[in-house]
Each structure stands twice: as structure tokens, then as C-alpha cells.
Amino acid sequence: MLHSSDFQPPWWLSNAHLQTLWPFLFRPRPRLALRRERLELPDGDFLDLDFTLNEAGPVVLVLHGLQGSVRSKYAAGLLHALATHGYRAVLMHFRGCSGEPNRLPHSYHSGETGDPAFVIEFLRNRFPGAPLAAIGFSLGGNALLKLLAEQGAGSPLRTAVAVSVPFLLNEGADKFNRGLSRIYRQYLLGSLIRSVMDKHNKIDLSGKINLELIQGCNDFWVFDHEVTARLNGFKDVHDYYRRSSSRGYLHLIKTPTLILHAEDDPFMRPATVPRNDELSPSVRLELSKHGGHVGFVTGNNPFQMRYWLDERILQHLNDHLR
């Protein structure tokens, strides 16, 4: 069901771009005690997992967004909040995002559900009997929603949360080419291109993608056609966007799921948000007028801002896991 969110930004921080950039620029990164574990995959590749050191409590898997990692402030902040409130939190780095290129040409993408599914099963076996939940941000949220739909009533997760999801990837790619959203496009594409070249230095990609074209790329349509689609078995960019966009899968979700989204998200258009009739009865979509992309910053003191996402996610987990 579609609901209005109770998030309210301070008057001086209501702009979508300020909401998006404030945590990136000014949020302190908490000190985290973490243990890293490398998980070997059946196809010969690997995933790096970062665990908080809690020895008891429900287990919560965190999936970061595009080019994110444990160093992303939204991820580190949530891990800290989860650990402080008695949850065993685990951040899964998508392939190539933990500081080392992955071994295979295959890369992560918005529709990648195999790796999160493998990790969830690994966690279920590692912590038998512990309640399991998952939280996904942006790209990670899209992948999580698609996975929940694929697993249906058989999902091992007791509940899930998805934040600032790019429900329709083609519309997101278009939005990045307009107005101030081009700032984010330039930053994200630059990071993606550097990652591709780092991988090329490890394994030869010259026969698989057009490296010269990629190095000068400034459009997600081009990058996703030349890199994402080619390296991950899609026919073309249209096939990738169609099969990987989570909006068409939401009616299949059986796990109690909370989606948090802002109408002013600069990564997509307001019309990208799913309609009420597209949501399964298990999905609660809370929509706010403001909040930007993975922003949702509130509080009246610029030196003591509150990160509402952490509070709302904890409230939801407490309701479903405690």
C-alpha cells in the first residue's frame, strides 16, 4: 500500500540536491569495528562481506548502491546504528566494489539477484535460527526487490527495506541527462569507467567491450549498452533495463517489505514511483515530498543533524524482528 511518509526536512534543507549531497559531504563517518570475510563463489569469483562484531541478535544484510562500499557514509552510518541496537549487520560488497577488481568479466548490476541470494543462504546456514532481514539502497534496493519477487513465499527473509529505488532504469538513465542531475551522472560514470579500466588491467576485456568508446562515455545508455549488457548476458541496453527494473516485479513480493522514497529524488522522475495497484499487499511504500536520493536529513542544528533513514529502518526492524 502507498502511504505518506512522516519525514520532514528543516526549511533550509528542503531542496532535493541539498538533501542528496548533505550526507555525502558533511555526515561524519562513524568508527566501525568490522570483520571482513571473503566468500568464494561457485563460478570462481568472490564477494567480500563486512560483519559487525555483535555475537547475538537478528542478522541484517545491507546492500549498497551504485559504486558504494562500506566507506559510503549511508552504509557505515546504518551499520553503526544496527550494531548499536543489537543487530548483527553484514554488508555485502557487490563484485568489484570492495577495493579489488573481481576475477571474471561478469559485473554487478541493478538486476543482479544471484549474489545476494547466495549470501542470504550463506547467512542462514551461518546463523541457524536467527531472524534474517535485508536492506538495500538505490541499486541494491532494486536488486533486493527483484530478488524478493523471484523468491516469493520461499524467501528466507522475515522482512526487507528498500531505499531510493530506481524502479524504472530507462527513466533513471534519461533523468541523468537533464539539468543538475548531470552532476551525479558525471561522478558515477567516472567511477564506473575507472572500475572497468582497473578490471581490464587484471583481465583482458578488449575482446568483449569497446574500451576506447567507454573511456569517453558520458551517458548511462551508452555505458549500460557497451559494458553492463555485454558483460552480463543481456541482448542490449533495452533488454537490460526491461528485465532488471524492479517496478514490474513488486506485485509478486510476499515478504513484508518497506520502501522509502522521495518525490523529489533527483535520480528519477516523480512518475517513476509505482502506483498503488502495482504493489503487493506485503509492500508498504512510504512516499515523502522531500528527501532527495538516500538523503532524508532532518534536525534544526547543522552540527547535530539527524539521519531519519536510520531511525525509520530501525523502527521497522524492531516491529518485525523483535
Looking at residue 21, its pLDDT comes to: 97
Report the interhelical angle of 73-84 vs 16-26 (nearest 10°).
70
List pLDDT tens digits, range 218-238.
999 999 999 999 999 999 999
- Mean pLDDT throughout 29-55? 97
List pLDDT tens digits, range 157-181.
999 999 999 999 999 999 999 999 9
Instruction: Quote the percentage of the chain above a pLDDT of 90.
Output: 98
Catalytic site residue from 72, 98, 110, 138: 138
Active site residue 277: no
Rounded to the nearest 10°, the torsion over CA 80, 143, 263, 82 is -10
Catalytic site residue from 80, 290, 293, 316: 293
pLDDT exceeds cutoff 90 at 322: no
Active site residue 45: no
Active site residue 265: yes
Catalytic site residue from 110, 265, 290, 310: 265
Query: Is the distance from CB of 82 to CB of 59 less than 8 angstroms?
Result: no
> How high does pLDDT run on average in the chain?
97
Residue 193's φ and ψ, nearest 5 degrees, are: -65, -40
Looking at residue 228, its pLDDT comes to: 98
pLDDT confidence of 303, banded at 50, 70, 90?
confident
Nearest to 176 by CA among 111, 211, 222, 125: 222
Looking at residue 178, its pLDDT comes to: 94
pTM for the model = 0.98
Q: What is the length of the chain?
A: 322
